[in-house]
Amino acid sequence: MVTSLNDLPIRDDLRGKSPYGAPQKHVRIELNVNENTHPIPEPVARDIIESLARAILTINRYPDREFTALRDGLAEYLGHGLTRSNVWAANGSNEILQQIMQAFGGPGRSILGFPPTYSMHSIIASGTGTTWIAADRDDNFEISPETAVDAIAQHRPDIVIFCSPNNPTGTPLSLETIAAAYDATDKIVIVDEAYAEFAPKDQPTALSLLPGRERLIVSRTMSKAFAFAGARLGYLAADPAVADALRLVRLPYHLSSLTQAAAVAALEHSEQMLAMVDDITEQRDRIVATLTDLGYSPWPTWSNFVLFGGVDEPGAVFEALLAQGIIIRDLGIPGHLRVSAGTRAETTAFLDAMAQLGRGPGPSQ
């Protein structure tokens, strides 16, 4: 009789692993998983509903396997001279990364990352049989060109993955580091830009590096800036040959007609959707300023969240906030917690609760 996972003939390299496990407690204020806490504007929601209604009328047929209209919309949104041939999409950026590792990683191959970073990078590597290699960051969670090149020379990975802005630290990554890493290998380089829309608007992203770099892949998502976390739509920009490679590993009709219809409609309102970003970054900067005044040590961030240090007992602070109906994230980084920027009201509630808990010990970075 099978009584536990260990009784099943699971792959040996998966034994002892833990699944992705962000807490799913439903409380009054949820600021723990970097969601866009702002609701979709009502006029946009109406258009999305109408688009879904039209899609329902042909739901008996398989969806467009090449999701042509969606790729056109994503290319127009990204700009940089991209066309549909440069764009690929999937059910969240996690599936994008999974398909990349299926195509370019796998048993006998490796991927190099720089923790602390998005925990799903190593989990997806494990799931695809790709060896995960962890390299050290510089001080302040940064990665210099020299650090990246040295790590590539030491480990000779088949894939290099960066996260910019980095999750969970919010740290930006210089274009010089990405370009140096690309030049240091003849393999795949991924830049996970899930939070790119929250960076300063005058700062170029890795999209600007794509011309002439056929092994560079920039991964994006509609979950954050577009408030589309529940819709599960991730995408990438790269040389057209990358999409050809992913066609070899994707499941047939992997993007439903409903997902495509909703995303196309949302992209038609990108200006309205991105208006939320300005308010979120305002709340993020308010969190940084107020936590600093309270004696904590928030790290510089270009994302929609703040990692802050100077927390003597992270577990106790987490539980004290939870008791007030506020959930943030304890990532296991000693002396640190992470909080997502919410609406003005949600942010105020969090900051008031932190003030009530007492001051931090002062700057410790």
Of the pLDDT bands very low, low, confident and very high (cuts 50, 70, 90), residue 23 is low
Q: What is the pLDDT of residues 94-140, one digit of tens each?
A: 999 999 999 999 999 999 999 999 999 999 999 999 999 999 999 99
The answer to whether the CB of 193 falls within 8 A of the CB of 164 is yes
Calculate the alpha carbon distances from 311 to 62, 66, 118, 351 in Å: 52, 49, 21, 14
Percentage of residues of the chain with pLDDT beyond 90: 87
- Label the pairing between strands 188-192 and 216-221: parallel
**Rounded CA gap, 203 and 13, in Å?**
41
Mean pLDDT of 1-28: 80
Of the pLDDT bands very low, low, confident and very high (cuts 50, 70, 90), residue 7 is confident
Calculate the alpha carbon distances from 310 to 100, 285, 316, 351 in Å: 38, 18, 13, 15
First-residue to last-residue Cα distance in the chain: 54
Which CATH class, in words, describes the domain spanning 25-38+272-357? alpha beta
pLDDT of residue 364: 45
- Pick from 42, 63, 46: which is nearest to 258 by CA? 63
- Pick from 326, 341, 327: which is nearest to 286 by CA? 341
At residue 215, does pLDDT exceed 60? yes
Of the pLDDT bands very low, low, confident and very high (cuts 50, 70, 90), residue 363 is low
For CA atoms 56, 53, 36, 353, the dihedral sign is: negative
- Could you give the angle at the alpha carbon of 333 between the alpha carbons of 364 and 167, nearest 5°? 100
- Pick from 172, 164, 178, 269: which is nearest to 219 by CA? 164
Q: What is the pLDDT of residues 286-333, one digit of tens each?
A: 999 999 999 999 999 999 999 999 999 999 999 999 999 999 999 999
pLDDT of residue 365: 46
Which CATH class, in words, describes the domain spanning 42-268? alpha beta
Per domain, the residue ranges of the chain are 25-38+272-357, 42-268
pLDDT of residue 10: 87
Which residues make Cβ contacts (< 8 Å) with residue 68, sequence separation at least 6? 84
Of the pLDDT bands very low, low, confident and very high (cuts 50, 70, 90), residue 25 is confident
Mean pLDDT of 230-245: 97
- Pick from 254, 242, 248: which is nearest to 67 by CA? 254
pTM score of the predicted model: 0.93
**Of 17 and 243, more confident:** 243
Q: What is the pLDDT of residues 73-99, one digit of tens each?
A: 999 999 999 999 999 999 999 999 999
